[in-house]
Amino acid sequence: MKGKVISLADYGAFVEIEKGVEGLIHVSEMSWTQKIKHPSQVVSVGQEVEAQVLEIDAVNRRISLGLKQTLENPWETLAKKYPSGTHIKGQVKNVTDFGVFVGVEEGMDGLVHVSDISWTQKNMRPQELYKKGDEIEVVVLNIDPENEKFSLGVKQLEKDPWQEVEKTLKKGVVIEGKVTKAVDFGLFVSVAPYVEGLVHISEITKERSEDPKSLYKVGDTVRAEVLGIDNRERKISLSIKSLVAKEEKESISKYMTDGKKEPKKKLGDLFAKEGLLQKLKHAIGKDSNAKEDKDKDKE
């Protein structure tokens, strides 16, 4: 309907659509993309406007009007232009504890939630990675025109490293990796690119240790056994102590088995092995010659 703006308030503009009949265009219904703080940013008293009837409250005699509804919804255009999975570049507009706002179209920002920044890093602060003005590449996750929400992701630019972990790592597998962090409760060890496992302090050694940092430092290479994998929580439990105990047991078992298989050696074989047989023959020969000499002397 067409009407004339007859007055302005902080929250909207009153429009006369028929003589004695007014409707209200709330500030939230004036623009699809702009955050309107006062209706004077868009309309003025006496201006003729075209608006859409949104709701009629017959009991309270109120009519709600919309100005933005007479224009094409840019959110619907955006959804068609950027289907899910599209890679785009944009400028960081704002950084908060819960995510990063990235400008994609004029007046339209998408949100990279903190959970969609990294596959592996948890409890991170976006402020440590991004600042206003940075140009970053993102992936479109979802556009919801009805609720005017634009979801973006950074971690989706790369393959989820956990998928490879699920294929290759199982309970009992022995891994070799470098210590990435030594903390009071244990050691974090790299088991795959961007994936870490935890050796709890109780799984480092048989001896009680108060501080894992006294045993290992960042960069040390360690071997450990996988105790368990929690795919839901994306956690890997490792044990150095268990691996050492298992390898010691295997060494003892092998030693005992090899000892039983080895044939008994003759005394001569042992002498020959040590080079003693020739010496013994030589000594016996000397004794025989000496005896013959004595017998001759007696004669």
11, 35, 70 — which closes off a domain? 70
Examine residue 183 and state whether it is found in any structural domain, yes or no.
yes
CA distance 164 to 246: 26
CA distance 273 to 279: 12
At residue 163, the pLDDT reads 82
Instruction: Give pLDDT tens digits along the chain (299 positions).
Output: 999 999 999 999 999 998 889 999 999 999 988 888 999 999 999 999 999 999 999 898 999 999 999 988 888 989 999 999 999 999 999 999 999 999 988 778 999 999 999 887 777 899 999 999 999 999 999 999 888 899 999 999 988 888 878 788 888 999 999 999 999 899 999 988 888 899 999 999 887 766 788 888 999 999 999 999 988 888 899 999 998 888 888 888 777 776 666 555 555 555 555 555 565 566 566 555 555 555 555 55
The answer to whether residues 166 and 109 belong to one domain is no
CATH classification at residue 226: 2.40.50.140
Count: domains in the chain: 4
Q: Which structure tokens are listed for 256?
A: 């005992």
This prediction's pTM: 0.60
CA distance 177 to 200: 15
Q: Name the strands in the sheet holding 62-66, side by side, starting at the edge strand that comes first in the sequence.
A: 48-50, 2-9, 12-18, 21-26, 62-66, 52-57
123, 157, 191 — which closes off a domain? 157
Examine residue 248 and state whether it is found in any structural domain, yes or no.
no
The answer to whether residues 194 and 136 belong to one domain is no
The answer to whether residues 169 and 203 belong to one domain is yes
The answer to whether residues 58 and 110 belong to one domain is no
Strands (E), the chain: 2-9, 12-18, 21-26, 48-50, 52-57, 62-66, 87-96, 99-105, 108-113, 135-144, 149-153, 174-183, 186-192, 195-200, 221-230, 235-239
At residue 212, the pLDDT reads 83
Note down the domain range covering 204: 161-243
The answer to whether residues 153 and 165 belong to one domain is no
122, 157, 192 — which closes off a domain? 157
